[in-house]
Structure 1
Amino acid sequence: MGTDYQRAREELGRRLRELRMDCPEGRLTGVQLAQRLGWQQSKISKLENGRQTPTDDDLRAWSEATGQPGAFGELRSRLRGFESHVRSWRRLLVAGHGPVQETWNTLIGESRTLHVWDTFAVNGMLQTADYARGVFERLAQFRGSREDAEDAVRARMKRQEWLYRPGRQLNVLMWEGALRAQVCPPGVLAAQLDRLLGVVGMDTVRLGIVPLDAPLRLFPGNGFWVLDDRLVTVEDWHAELWLDDAETIALYRRVWDTFAESAVFGAEAQQVIARVRRSLKV
Protein backbone atom coordinates (compact mmCIF):
# COMPACT_ATOMS: atom_id res chain seq x y z
CA MET A 1 0.00 0.00 0.00
CA GLY A 2 1.44 3.36 -1.00
CA THR A 3 2.78 5.70 1.68
CA ASP A 4 0.61 8.65 0.55
CA TYR A 5 -2.50 6.50 0.64
CA GLN A 6 -1.74 5.12 4.09
CA ARG A 7 -0.96 8.58 5.45
CA ALA A 8 -4.31 9.87 4.16
CA ARG A 9 -6.12 6.92 5.74
CA GLU A 10 -4.41 7.58 9.07
CA GLU A 11 -5.38 11.25 8.90
CA LEU A 12 -8.99 10.28 8.30
CA GLY A 13 -8.75 7.95 11.29
CA ARG A 14 -7.52 10.80 13.48
CA ARG A 15 -10.46 12.92 12.35
CA LEU A 16 -12.85 10.12 13.28
CA ARG A 17 -11.25 9.94 16.73
CA GLU A 18 -11.72 13.69 17.14
CA LEU A 19 -15.43 13.38 16.41
CA ARG A 20 -15.76 10.62 19.01
CA MET A 21 -13.89 12.67 21.61
CA ASP A 22 -15.85 15.87 20.83
CA CYS A 23 -19.33 14.33 20.92
CA PRO A 24 -21.72 17.19 21.96
CA GLU A 25 -23.26 15.09 24.73
CA GLY A 26 -19.88 14.11 26.12
CA ARG A 27 -16.83 12.10 25.12
CA LEU A 28 -17.54 8.56 23.95
CA THR A 29 -15.24 5.63 24.53
CA GLY A 30 -14.55 3.26 21.68
CA VAL A 31 -16.69 0.63 23.39
CA GLN A 32 -19.61 3.03 23.78
CA LEU A 33 -19.47 4.09 20.13
CA ALA A 34 -19.27 0.47 19.01
CA GLN A 35 -22.41 -0.30 21.05
CA ARG A 36 -24.28 2.61 19.48
CA LEU A 37 -23.33 1.48 15.99
CA GLY A 38 -23.74 -2.24 16.59
CA TRP A 39 -20.13 -2.84 15.52
CA GLN A 40 -17.28 -4.81 16.99
CA GLN A 41 -15.00 -2.56 19.07
CA SER A 42 -12.10 -3.79 16.92
CA LYS A 43 -13.65 -2.02 13.91
CA ILE A 44 -13.61 1.29 15.79
CA SER A 45 -9.93 0.75 16.58
CA LYS A 46 -9.01 -0.21 13.01
CA LEU A 47 -10.77 2.81 11.51
CA GLU A 48 -9.23 5.27 13.98
CA ASN A 49 -5.74 3.86 13.47
CA GLY A 50 -5.90 3.81 9.68
CA ARG A 51 -5.88 0.02 9.40
CA GLN A 52 -9.25 -0.24 7.62
CA THR A 53 -10.81 1.87 4.88
CA PRO A 54 -14.32 3.05 5.79
CA THR A 55 -17.25 3.05 3.41
CA ASP A 56 -19.61 5.99 2.86
CA ASP A 57 -22.14 4.21 5.09
CA ASP A 58 -19.52 3.83 7.84
CA LEU A 59 -18.76 7.55 7.73
CA ARG A 60 -22.42 8.56 7.74
CA ALA A 61 -23.16 6.25 10.69
CA TRP A 62 -20.10 7.54 12.59
CA SER A 63 -21.01 11.20 12.16
CA GLU A 64 -24.60 10.57 13.25
CA ALA A 65 -23.63 8.38 16.22
CA THR A 66 -21.25 11.08 17.49
CA GLY A 67 -23.99 13.72 17.21
CA GLN A 68 -22.30 15.57 14.36
CA PRO A 69 -24.14 14.59 11.14
CA GLY A 70 -22.89 17.73 9.42
CA ALA A 71 -19.37 16.28 9.44
CA PHE A 72 -20.34 13.60 6.92
CA GLY A 73 -19.64 15.82 3.89
CA GLU A 74 -16.13 16.56 5.09
CA LEU A 75 -15.43 12.90 5.89
CA ARG A 76 -16.72 11.79 2.51
CA SER A 77 -14.52 14.36 0.73
CA ARG A 78 -11.49 13.07 2.61
CA LEU A 79 -12.33 9.51 1.59
CA ARG A 80 -12.83 10.46 -2.05
CA GLY A 81 -9.54 12.34 -1.98
CA PHE A 82 -7.41 9.29 -1.31
CA GLU A 83 -9.66 6.69 -2.90
CA SER A 84 -9.16 8.47 -6.22
CA HIS A 85 -5.71 6.91 -6.13
CA VAL A 86 -6.71 3.41 -4.99
CA ARG A 87 -9.78 2.26 -6.90
CA SER A 88 -10.99 -0.99 -5.35
CA TRP A 89 -12.16 -3.59 -7.87
CA ARG A 90 -14.83 -4.68 -5.39
CA ARG A 91 -16.41 -1.24 -5.60
CA LEU A 92 -15.65 -0.49 -9.24
CA LEU A 93 -17.24 -3.71 -10.47
CA VAL A 94 -20.54 -3.43 -8.59
CA ALA A 95 -22.17 -2.39 -11.87
CA GLY A 96 -19.99 -4.68 -13.99
CA HIS A 97 -17.03 -4.29 -16.36
CA GLY A 98 -18.94 -2.19 -18.90
CA PRO A 99 -19.00 1.04 -16.84
CA VAL A 100 -15.33 0.58 -15.95
CA GLN A 101 -14.47 0.35 -19.64
CA GLU A 102 -16.52 3.47 -20.39
CA THR A 103 -14.52 5.35 -17.75
CA TRP A 104 -11.37 4.19 -19.50
CA ASN A 105 -12.76 5.39 -22.83
CA THR A 106 -13.02 8.90 -21.39
CA LEU A 107 -9.56 8.68 -19.86
CA ILE A 108 -7.92 7.50 -23.08
CA GLY A 109 -9.93 9.95 -25.17
CA GLU A 110 -8.34 12.82 -23.24
CA SER A 111 -4.83 11.47 -23.95
CA ARG A 112 -2.55 11.88 -26.93
CA THR A 113 0.43 9.70 -26.02
CA LEU A 114 0.38 6.39 -24.15
CA HIS A 115 3.32 4.36 -22.85
CA VAL A 116 2.22 0.90 -21.74
CA TRP A 117 3.98 -2.13 -20.26
CA ASP A 118 1.99 -5.39 -20.36
CA THR A 119 3.10 -8.55 -18.60
CA PHE A 120 -0.02 -10.71 -18.30
CA ALA A 121 -2.23 -10.24 -21.39
CA VAL A 122 -2.30 -8.63 -24.82
CA ASN A 123 -2.83 -4.89 -24.54
CA GLY A 124 -6.51 -3.89 -24.54
CA MET A 125 -6.00 -1.32 -27.30
CA LEU A 126 -4.95 -4.15 -29.61
CA GLN A 127 -7.28 -6.96 -28.52
CA THR A 128 -9.73 -8.72 -30.79
CA ALA A 129 -13.35 -8.87 -29.62
CA ASP A 130 -13.14 -12.62 -28.97
CA TYR A 131 -9.95 -12.28 -26.92
CA ALA A 132 -11.42 -9.41 -24.89
CA ARG A 133 -14.60 -11.41 -24.29
CA GLY A 134 -12.57 -14.27 -22.86
CA VAL A 135 -10.70 -11.92 -20.55
CA PHE A 136 -13.87 -10.29 -19.21
CA GLU A 137 -15.65 -13.59 -18.73
CA ARG A 138 -12.79 -15.03 -16.71
CA LEU A 139 -12.43 -11.93 -14.57
CA ALA A 140 -16.16 -11.78 -13.84
CA GLN A 141 -16.14 -15.44 -12.85
CA PHE A 142 -13.07 -15.00 -10.64
CA ARG A 143 -14.29 -11.85 -8.89
CA GLY A 144 -17.94 -12.86 -8.74
CA SER A 145 -18.90 -9.59 -10.42
CA ARG A 146 -21.78 -8.88 -12.76
CA GLU A 147 -21.48 -10.77 -16.06
CA ASP A 148 -21.67 -8.08 -18.72
CA ALA A 149 -18.92 -9.19 -21.07
CA GLU A 150 -20.71 -7.98 -24.20
CA ASP A 151 -21.09 -4.43 -22.86
CA ALA A 152 -17.44 -4.43 -21.82
CA VAL A 153 -16.29 -5.75 -25.21
CA ARG A 154 -18.26 -3.09 -27.09
CA ALA A 155 -16.73 -0.35 -24.94
CA ARG A 156 -13.22 -1.71 -25.44
CA MET A 157 -13.66 -2.01 -29.19
CA LYS A 158 -14.98 1.56 -29.31
CA ARG A 159 -11.86 2.74 -27.49
CA GLN A 160 -9.66 1.35 -30.26
CA GLU A 161 -10.97 4.06 -32.58
CA TRP A 162 -8.41 6.25 -30.79
CA LEU A 163 -5.70 4.49 -32.81
CA TYR A 164 -7.02 6.00 -36.02
CA ARG A 165 -7.12 9.62 -34.88
CA PRO A 166 -4.33 11.93 -36.07
CA GLY A 167 -1.82 13.01 -33.48
CA ARG A 168 -2.23 9.89 -31.30
CA GLN A 169 0.62 7.54 -30.39
CA LEU A 170 0.45 4.20 -28.60
CA ASN A 171 3.87 3.05 -27.38
CA VAL A 172 3.30 -0.44 -26.05
CA LEU A 173 5.76 -3.02 -24.77
CA MET A 174 4.60 -6.58 -24.15
CA TRP A 175 6.48 -9.35 -22.43
CA GLU A 176 6.48 -12.51 -24.56
CA GLY A 177 4.79 -14.31 -21.67
CA ALA A 178 1.70 -12.12 -22.23
CA LEU A 179 1.50 -13.45 -25.81
CA ARG A 180 1.69 -17.04 -24.60
CA ALA A 181 -0.85 -16.77 -21.77
CA GLN A 182 -3.72 -19.03 -22.86
CA VAL A 183 -6.53 -17.08 -21.22
CA CYS A 184 -8.70 -18.08 -24.17
CA PRO A 185 -9.01 -21.06 -26.56
CA PRO A 186 -6.01 -21.60 -28.88
CA GLY A 187 -7.99 -20.53 -31.95
CA VAL A 188 -8.91 -17.22 -30.34
CA LEU A 189 -5.31 -16.65 -29.27
CA ALA A 190 -4.08 -17.45 -32.78
CA ALA A 191 -6.42 -14.83 -34.26
CA GLN A 192 -5.23 -12.38 -31.64
CA LEU A 193 -1.60 -12.94 -32.59
CA ASP A 194 -2.52 -12.45 -36.25
CA ARG A 195 -4.02 -9.10 -35.24
CA LEU A 196 -0.75 -8.13 -33.56
CA LEU A 197 1.22 -9.05 -36.66
CA GLY A 198 -0.99 -6.68 -38.61
CA VAL A 199 -0.50 -3.65 -36.36
CA VAL A 200 3.28 -3.71 -36.60
CA GLY A 201 4.08 -0.77 -38.83
CA MET A 202 0.97 1.32 -38.07
CA ASP A 203 2.02 4.94 -37.78
CA THR A 204 0.10 5.40 -34.51
CA VAL A 205 1.46 2.23 -32.87
CA ARG A 206 4.98 1.47 -31.72
CA LEU A 207 4.86 -2.18 -30.64
CA GLY A 208 7.79 -3.76 -28.86
CA ILE A 209 8.08 -7.33 -27.62
CA VAL A 210 10.44 -8.33 -24.81
CA PRO A 211 11.44 -11.94 -25.58
CA LEU A 212 11.49 -14.45 -22.73
CA ASP A 213 15.22 -14.94 -23.22
CA ALA A 214 16.05 -11.22 -23.36
CA PRO A 215 18.37 -9.90 -20.63
CA LEU A 216 16.37 -7.71 -18.23
CA ARG A 217 17.64 -4.87 -16.06
CA LEU A 218 14.42 -5.06 -14.01
CA PHE A 219 12.05 -7.91 -13.11
CA PRO A 220 8.78 -7.74 -15.14
CA GLY A 221 6.55 -6.65 -12.23
CA ASN A 222 3.03 -5.31 -12.79
CA GLY A 223 1.82 -3.85 -16.04
CA PHE A 224 1.10 -0.12 -16.15
CA TRP A 225 -0.04 2.77 -18.34
CA VAL A 226 1.47 6.26 -18.55
CA LEU A 227 -1.03 8.72 -20.01
CA ASP A 228 0.76 11.74 -21.44
CA ASP A 229 2.70 13.19 -18.51
CA ARG A 230 -0.31 13.48 -16.21
CA LEU A 231 -1.27 10.03 -14.90
CA VAL A 232 0.00 6.50 -14.29
CA THR A 233 -2.38 3.58 -13.77
CA VAL A 234 -1.26 0.25 -12.32
CA GLU A 235 -3.52 -2.79 -12.11
CA ASP A 236 -3.23 -5.13 -9.16
CA TRP A 237 -5.47 -7.95 -7.95
CA HIS A 238 -7.25 -5.83 -5.35
CA ALA A 239 -7.37 -2.45 -7.02
CA GLU A 240 -6.43 -0.16 -9.84
CA LEU A 241 -3.95 2.51 -8.73
CA TRP A 242 -4.09 6.03 -10.19
CA LEU A 243 -0.87 7.96 -9.53
CA ASP A 244 -0.55 11.57 -10.59
CA ASP A 245 2.43 13.15 -8.87
CA ALA A 246 5.24 14.24 -11.18
CA GLU A 247 7.95 12.22 -9.44
CA THR A 248 6.01 8.96 -9.75
CA ILE A 249 5.13 9.60 -13.39
CA ALA A 250 8.80 10.22 -14.16
CA LEU A 251 9.73 6.98 -12.37
CA TYR A 252 7.34 4.88 -14.47
CA ARG A 253 8.57 6.48 -17.67
CA ARG A 254 12.09 5.49 -16.65
CA VAL A 255 10.86 1.94 -16.02
CA TRP A 256 9.25 1.90 -19.49
CA ASP A 257 12.45 3.15 -21.11
CA THR A 258 14.42 0.47 -19.27
CA PHE A 259 12.21 -2.32 -20.60
CA ALA A 260 12.36 -0.79 -24.07
CA GLU A 261 16.12 -1.47 -24.04
CA SER A 262 15.31 -5.22 -23.87
CA ALA A 263 12.56 -5.11 -26.51
CA VAL A 264 12.59 -5.85 -30.21
CA PHE A 265 10.54 -3.83 -32.70
CA GLY A 266 9.43 -4.01 -36.32
CA ALA A 267 10.37 -7.17 -38.20
CA GLU A 268 12.09 -8.66 -35.13
CA ALA A 269 8.90 -8.20 -33.09
CA GLN A 270 6.93 -9.90 -35.87
CA GLN A 271 9.34 -12.83 -35.74
CA VAL A 272 8.72 -13.32 -32.01
CA ILE A 273 4.94 -13.08 -32.47
CA ALA A 274 5.06 -15.52 -35.39
CA ARG A 275 7.14 -17.96 -33.34
CA VAL A 276 4.51 -17.94 -30.59
CA ARG A 277 1.78 -18.31 -33.23
CA ARG A 278 3.44 -21.41 -34.69
CA SER A 279 3.70 -23.00 -31.24
CA LEU A 280 -0.09 -23.07 -30.82
CA LYS A 281 -1.93 -26.32 -31.42
CA VAL A 282 -4.88 -25.01 -33.39
Structure 2
Amino acid sequence: MSTQAQEAREALGARLRGFRKDAGFMSGRALARALGWQESKVSRLENGKQNASEEDIRTWCAATGQEQHVEDLVAMVRHIDELWLEWRRQLQTGAEKRQSKALPVYAKTKVFRIWHPTLVWGTLQTPEYAAKTFEQVVAFYEIPNDTEAAVAKRLERQQYLYRGGRIFNVLLGEQALYTNFGGPEVMIGQLDRLLSAMRLPRLSLGLIPRSAVLSVWPGNSFSMFDDRLVLVETYSAEFSITQPREIELYAKAFASLKQSAVYGNSARDLIFTAMQHFERMPRD
Protein backbone atom coordinates (compact mmCIF):
# COMPACT_ATOMS: atom_id res chain seq x y z
CA MET A 1 0.00 0.00 0.00
CA SER A 2 1.21 3.53 -0.70
CA THR A 3 2.52 5.62 2.20
CA GLN A 4 -0.31 8.07 1.64
CA ALA A 5 -2.99 5.39 1.93
CA GLN A 6 -1.36 3.90 5.03
CA GLU A 7 -1.09 7.30 6.68
CA ALA A 8 -4.78 7.91 5.99
CA ARG A 9 -5.70 4.55 7.57
CA GLU A 10 -3.61 5.35 10.63
CA ALA A 11 -5.21 8.78 10.95
CA LEU A 12 -8.65 7.19 10.78
CA GLY A 13 -7.62 4.62 13.40
CA ALA A 14 -6.41 7.36 15.73
CA ARG A 15 -9.79 9.08 15.55
CA LEU A 16 -11.60 5.82 16.26
CA ARG A 17 -9.32 5.19 19.24
CA GLY A 18 -10.11 8.67 20.57
CA PHE A 19 -13.85 8.02 20.24
CA ARG A 20 -13.48 4.75 22.16
CA LYS A 21 -11.62 6.36 25.05
CA ASP A 22 -13.95 9.37 25.20
CA ALA A 23 -16.87 6.95 25.51
CA GLY A 24 -15.30 5.29 28.53
CA PHE A 25 -14.15 2.08 26.86
CA MET A 26 -10.67 1.95 28.35
CA SER A 27 -9.61 -1.07 26.33
CA GLY A 28 -10.23 -2.46 22.89
CA ARG A 29 -11.46 -5.63 24.55
CA ALA A 30 -14.30 -3.75 26.25
CA LEU A 31 -15.48 -2.16 23.00
CA ALA A 32 -15.15 -5.43 21.10
CA ARG A 33 -17.33 -7.13 23.70
CA ALA A 34 -19.96 -4.39 23.39
CA LEU A 35 -19.98 -4.69 19.59
CA GLY A 36 -19.79 -8.46 19.45
CA TRP A 37 -16.52 -8.25 17.51
CA GLN A 38 -13.21 -10.02 17.84
CA GLU A 39 -10.82 -8.00 19.98
CA SER A 40 -8.22 -8.25 17.21
CA LYS A 41 -10.53 -6.36 14.82
CA VAL A 42 -10.69 -3.35 17.12
CA SER A 43 -6.90 -3.37 17.45
CA ARG A 44 -6.34 -3.65 13.68
CA LEU A 45 -8.73 -0.79 12.93
CA GLU A 46 -7.21 1.49 15.56
CA ASN A 47 -3.67 0.81 14.34
CA GLY A 48 -4.40 1.16 10.64
CA LYS A 49 -3.77 -2.52 9.94
CA GLN A 50 -7.21 -3.20 8.44
CA ASN A 51 -9.53 -1.28 6.15
CA ALA A 52 -12.70 -0.10 7.87
CA SER A 53 -15.97 -0.61 6.06
CA GLU A 54 -18.66 2.05 6.06
CA GLU A 55 -20.76 -0.24 8.27
CA ASP A 56 -17.84 -0.54 10.72
CA ILE A 57 -17.74 3.25 10.99
CA ARG A 58 -21.48 3.54 11.64
CA THR A 59 -21.39 0.78 14.25
CA TRP A 60 -18.36 2.27 16.02
CA CYS A 61 -19.79 5.79 16.08
CA ALA A 62 -23.15 4.56 17.39
CA ALA A 63 -21.47 2.63 20.22
CA THR A 64 -19.31 5.60 21.23
CA GLY A 65 -21.96 8.32 20.86
CA GLN A 66 -20.22 9.99 17.92
CA GLU A 67 -22.93 9.71 15.27
CA GLN A 68 -22.30 13.32 14.20
CA HIS A 69 -18.93 12.22 12.79
CA VAL A 70 -20.23 9.37 10.63
CA GLU A 71 -20.41 11.36 7.40
CA ASP A 72 -16.87 12.70 7.81
CA LEU A 73 -15.37 9.31 8.61
CA VAL A 74 -17.22 7.55 5.80
CA ALA A 75 -15.70 10.14 3.45
CA MET A 76 -12.26 9.20 4.82
CA VAL A 77 -12.96 5.51 4.19
CA ARG A 78 -13.98 6.22 0.62
CA HIS A 79 -10.85 8.30 0.06
CA ILE A 80 -8.67 5.44 1.29
CA ASP A 81 -10.51 3.11 -1.07
CA GLU A 82 -9.71 5.45 -3.94
CA LEU A 83 -6.02 5.35 -3.05
CA TRP A 84 -5.95 1.55 -3.08
CA LEU A 85 -8.34 -0.16 -5.48
CA GLU A 86 -8.36 -3.92 -5.69
CA TRP A 87 -8.42 -5.18 -9.27
CA ARG A 88 -11.26 -7.58 -8.54
CA ARG A 89 -13.43 -4.66 -7.48
CA GLN A 90 -12.34 -2.44 -10.37
CA LEU A 91 -12.88 -5.18 -12.92
CA GLN A 92 -15.99 -6.84 -11.53
CA THR A 93 -18.07 -5.80 -14.56
CA GLY A 94 -15.22 -6.29 -17.05
CA ALA A 95 -12.15 -4.36 -18.20
CA GLU A 96 -13.77 -1.71 -20.41
CA LYS A 97 -14.92 0.48 -17.50
CA ARG A 98 -11.39 0.69 -16.08
CA GLN A 99 -10.02 1.63 -19.51
CA SER A 100 -12.63 4.38 -19.83
CA LYS A 101 -11.50 5.92 -16.54
CA ALA A 102 -8.05 6.58 -18.03
CA LEU A 103 -9.26 8.87 -20.82
CA PRO A 104 -10.05 11.98 -18.72
CA VAL A 105 -6.68 11.64 -16.99
CA TYR A 106 -4.91 11.52 -20.34
CA ALA A 107 -6.88 14.51 -21.62
CA LYS A 108 -5.67 16.67 -18.71
CA THR A 109 -2.02 15.58 -18.78
CA LYS A 110 0.74 17.50 -20.56
CA VAL A 111 3.80 15.46 -19.57
CA PHE A 112 3.75 11.66 -19.23
CA ARG A 113 6.50 9.59 -17.60
CA ILE A 114 5.95 5.87 -18.11
CA TRP A 115 7.99 2.92 -16.86
CA HIS A 116 7.21 -0.68 -17.84
CA PRO A 117 9.94 -3.24 -17.16
CA THR A 118 8.27 -6.29 -18.73
CA LEU A 119 5.57 -5.34 -21.23
CA VAL A 120 4.73 -2.69 -23.80
CA TRP A 121 2.86 0.34 -22.47
CA GLY A 122 -0.84 0.15 -23.28
CA THR A 123 -0.95 3.30 -25.38
CA LEU A 124 1.67 1.86 -27.75
CA GLN A 125 0.04 -1.56 -28.07
CA THR A 126 -1.38 -3.01 -31.27
CA PRO A 127 -4.97 -4.29 -31.15
CA GLU A 128 -3.75 -7.89 -31.31
CA TYR A 129 -1.24 -7.47 -28.49
CA ALA A 130 -3.78 -5.60 -26.35
CA ALA A 131 -6.36 -8.34 -26.91
CA LYS A 132 -3.94 -10.97 -25.62
CA THR A 133 -3.21 -8.94 -22.49
CA PHE A 134 -6.92 -8.52 -21.77
CA GLU A 135 -7.56 -12.21 -22.34
CA GLN A 136 -5.03 -12.88 -19.58
CA VAL A 137 -6.72 -10.33 -17.31
CA VAL A 138 -10.11 -11.97 -17.88
CA ALA A 139 -8.75 -15.43 -17.07
CA PHE A 140 -6.63 -14.36 -14.09
CA TYR A 141 -9.28 -12.28 -12.31
CA GLU A 142 -12.21 -14.38 -13.53
CA ILE A 143 -14.17 -11.38 -14.76
CA PRO A 144 -16.72 -10.94 -17.58
CA ASN A 145 -15.08 -11.22 -20.98
CA ASP A 146 -15.40 -7.82 -22.66
CA THR A 147 -12.02 -8.00 -24.39
CA GLU A 148 -13.16 -6.41 -27.66
CA ALA A 149 -14.70 -3.41 -25.90
CA ALA A 150 -11.71 -3.03 -23.57
CA VAL A 151 -9.28 -3.07 -26.51
CA ALA A 152 -11.29 -0.41 -28.34
CA LYS A 153 -11.27 1.81 -25.26
CA ARG A 154 -7.53 1.33 -24.72
CA LEU A 155 -6.81 2.24 -28.33
CA GLU A 156 -8.70 5.51 -27.84
CA ARG A 157 -5.74 6.69 -25.76
CA GLN A 158 -3.59 6.75 -28.89
CA GLN A 159 -5.32 9.89 -30.09
CA TYR A 160 -3.35 11.83 -27.48
CA LEU A 161 -0.07 10.83 -29.13
CA TYR A 162 -1.05 13.09 -32.02
CA ARG A 163 -3.08 15.86 -30.35
CA GLY A 164 -2.05 18.92 -28.38
CA GLY A 165 1.37 19.72 -26.99
CA ARG A 166 1.73 16.60 -24.86
CA ILE A 167 5.13 15.06 -24.19
CA PHE A 168 5.48 11.29 -23.71
CA ASN A 169 8.60 10.03 -21.95
CA VAL A 170 8.40 6.24 -22.09
CA LEU A 171 10.90 3.75 -20.68
CA LEU A 172 10.64 0.01 -21.34
CA GLY A 173 12.84 -2.75 -20.06
CA GLU A 174 14.37 -4.90 -22.81
CA GLN A 175 12.32 -7.79 -21.41
CA ALA A 176 9.21 -5.97 -22.67
CA LEU A 177 10.37 -6.78 -26.20
CA TYR A 178 10.38 -10.51 -25.42
CA THR A 179 7.42 -11.05 -23.08
CA ASN A 180 5.37 -13.16 -25.44
CA PHE A 181 1.72 -12.20 -25.81
CA GLY A 182 0.09 -14.19 -28.60
CA GLY A 183 3.03 -15.77 -30.39
CA PRO A 184 5.48 -14.66 -33.09
CA GLU A 185 3.04 -12.93 -35.45
CA VAL A 186 1.53 -10.79 -32.70
CA MET A 187 4.93 -9.93 -31.26
CA ILE A 188 6.47 -9.03 -34.62
CA GLY A 189 3.53 -6.74 -35.31
CA GLN A 190 3.93 -5.14 -31.89
CA LEU A 191 7.65 -4.59 -32.32
CA ASP A 192 7.07 -3.06 -35.73
CA ARG A 193 4.57 -0.71 -34.08
CA LEU A 194 7.28 0.42 -31.65
CA LEU A 195 9.60 1.20 -34.55
CA SER A 196 6.90 3.34 -36.14
CA ALA A 197 6.05 5.06 -32.86
CA MET A 198 9.66 6.10 -32.37
CA ARG A 199 9.22 8.55 -35.24
CA LEU A 200 6.50 10.47 -33.42
CA PRO A 201 7.81 13.95 -32.53
CA ARG A 202 6.22 14.03 -29.08
CA LEU A 203 7.37 10.56 -28.03
CA SER A 204 10.71 9.76 -26.43
CA LEU A 205 11.08 5.99 -26.24
CA GLY A 206 13.99 4.61 -24.26
CA LEU A 207 14.91 0.97 -23.71
CA ILE A 208 16.90 -0.32 -20.77
CA PRO A 209 19.10 -3.22 -21.92
CA ARG A 210 18.96 -6.38 -19.83
CA SER A 211 22.67 -6.04 -19.00
CA ALA A 212 22.58 -2.31 -18.23
CA VAL A 213 23.98 -1.13 -14.93
CA LEU A 214 21.10 0.32 -12.89
CA SER A 215 21.33 3.01 -10.25
CA VAL A 216 17.91 2.07 -8.82
CA TRP A 217 16.08 -1.27 -8.72
CA PRO A 218 13.40 -1.70 -11.44
CA GLY A 219 10.41 -2.10 -9.10
CA ASN A 220 6.83 -2.13 -10.36
CA SER A 221 5.62 -0.40 -13.49
CA PHE A 222 4.27 3.08 -12.92
CA SER A 223 2.71 5.92 -14.87
CA MET A 224 3.22 9.58 -13.94
CA PHE A 225 0.77 12.23 -15.09
CA ASP A 226 2.45 15.63 -14.81
CA ASP A 227 3.45 16.12 -11.17
CA ARG A 228 0.00 15.45 -9.76
CA LEU A 229 -0.65 11.71 -10.03
CA VAL A 230 1.24 8.41 -10.14
CA LEU A 231 -0.50 5.09 -10.77
CA VAL A 232 1.27 1.92 -9.64
CA GLU A 233 0.04 -1.57 -10.53
CA THR A 234 0.52 -4.80 -8.61
CA TYR A 235 -1.11 -8.21 -9.06
CA SER A 236 -3.72 -7.46 -6.42
CA ALA A 237 -4.44 -3.76 -6.83
CA GLU A 238 -3.71 -0.40 -8.37
CA PHE A 239 -2.90 2.49 -6.09
CA SER A 240 -2.95 6.22 -6.73
CA ILE A 241 -0.26 8.52 -5.39
CA THR A 242 -1.03 12.23 -5.10
CA GLN A 243 1.13 13.30 -2.17
CA PRO A 244 3.91 15.61 -3.47
CA ARG A 245 6.76 14.02 -1.50
CA GLU A 246 5.83 10.55 -2.81
CA ILE A 247 5.51 11.84 -6.38
CA GLU A 248 9.01 13.31 -6.02
CA LEU A 249 10.34 9.82 -5.23
CA TYR A 250 8.84 8.41 -8.42
CA ALA A 251 10.21 11.32 -10.43
CA LYS A 252 13.62 10.56 -8.93
CA ALA A 253 13.25 6.86 -9.75
CA PHE A 254 12.29 7.68 -13.35
CA ALA A 255 15.29 9.98 -13.75
CA SER A 256 17.58 7.26 -12.36
CA LEU A 257 16.15 4.60 -14.66
CA LYS A 258 16.47 6.94 -17.63
CA GLN A 259 20.24 7.13 -17.08
CA SER A 260 20.45 3.44 -17.99
CA ALA A 261 18.32 3.68 -21.13
CA VAL A 262 19.39 3.77 -24.77
CA TYR A 263 17.62 5.75 -27.47
CA GLY A 264 17.59 6.22 -31.22
CA ASN A 265 19.59 3.72 -33.27
CA SER A 266 20.67 1.78 -30.18
CA ALA A 267 17.05 1.27 -29.19
CA ARG A 268 16.12 0.30 -32.76
CA ASP A 269 18.88 -2.31 -32.75
CA LEU A 270 17.40 -3.91 -29.65
CA ILE A 271 13.97 -4.00 -31.30
CA PHE A 272 15.34 -5.49 -34.54
CA THR A 273 17.16 -8.17 -32.52
CA ALA A 274 13.92 -9.05 -30.75
CA MET A 275 12.08 -9.21 -34.08
CA GLN A 276 14.69 -11.62 -35.42
CA HIS A 277 14.17 -13.77 -32.32
CA PHE A 278 10.46 -14.10 -33.06
CA GLU A 279 11.02 -14.56 -36.78
CA ARG A 280 13.07 -17.66 -35.96
CA MET A 281 10.33 -19.12 -33.79
CA PRO A 282 8.08 -21.79 -35.32
CA ARG A 283 4.57 -20.75 -36.29
CA ASP A 284 1.55 -22.73 -35.13
Distance 1:235 1:29, change over 3 A: same
Match of 2:71 in 1: 73
CA contact (8 A) 2:120 2:177 kept: yes
Query: In the TM superposition, what are the counterparts of 1:111-150 in structure 2 within 5 Å?
Result: 111-150=109-148
Query: In the TM superposition, what are the counterparts of 1:47-66 in structure 2 within 5 Å?
Result: 47-66=45-64
Aligned: 1:6 with 2:6: yes
Distance 1:254 1:22, change over 3 A: closer
Query: In the TM superposition, what are the counterparts of 1:88-127 in structure 2 within 5 Å?
Result: 88-127=86-125
Match of 1:221 in 2: 219
Distance 1:58 1:149, change over 3 A: farther
SS in 1 for 2:6: helix
* Offset at residue 202 of structure 1 (A): 0.9
- Measured in 1, the distance between the counterparts of 2:101 and 2:55 equals 24
Match of 1:178 in 2: 176
Aligned: 1:153 with 2:148: no
CA contact (8 A) 2:2 2:239 kept: no
Residue 155 of structure 1 aligns with an amino acid whose one-letter code is K
Distance 1:245 1:28, change over 3 A: closer
Larger mean Cα displacement after TM superposition, 160-169 or 87-96: 87-96
Distance 1:11 1:257, change over 3 A: closer
Match of 1:207 in 2: 205
Please give the TM-score of this superposition, normalised by the length of structure 1. Answer: 0.88
Larger mean Cα displacement after TM superposition, 151-160 or 53-62: 53-62
Deviations 1:79-136 (A, max 9, x none): 2333433333233223332221111111111101101111121001101112112112
- Measured in 2, the distance between the counterparts of 1:37 and 1:96 equals 37
CA contact (8 A) 1:199 1:205 kept: yes
Aligned length: 280
What are the ranges of 5 or more consecutive residues in structure 1 without an aligned counterpart? Answer: none
Larger mean Cα displacement after TM superposition, 64-73 or 185-194: 64-73
- Measured in 2, the distance between the counterparts of 1:218 and 1:102 equals 33
Deviations 1:241-273 (A, max 9, x none): 222233333332232222222222122212111
- Measured in 1, the distance between the counterparts of 2:56 and 2:91 equals 20
SS in 1 for 2:91: helix
Match of 2:276 in 1: 278
- Measured in 2, the distance between the counterparts of 1:184 and 1:37 equals 53
Identity of counterpart residues, as a percentage?
A: 39
Please give the TM-score of this superposition, normalised by the length of structure 2. Answer: 0.88
Match of 1:255 in 2: 253
SS in 1 for 2:112: strand
* Offset at residue 30 of structure 1 (A): 4.4
What are the ranges of 5 or more consecutive residues in structure 2 without an aligned counterpart? Answer: none
CA contact (8 A) 2:126 2:190 kept: yes
Larger mean Cα displacement after TM superposition, 258-267 or 2-11: 2-11
Query: In the TM superposition, what are the counterparts of 1:224-243 in structure 2 within 5 Å?
Result: 224-243=222-241
Match of 1:246 in 2: 244
Larger mean Cα displacement after TM superposition, 134-143 or 246-255: 246-255
Match of 1:84 in 2: 82
- Measured in 2, the distance between the counterparts of 1:184 and 1:38 equals 52
CA contact (8 A) 1:201 1:266 kept: no
Once superposed, what is the RMSD of the aligned Cα atoms? 2.4
Distance 1:30 1:95, change over 3 A: farther
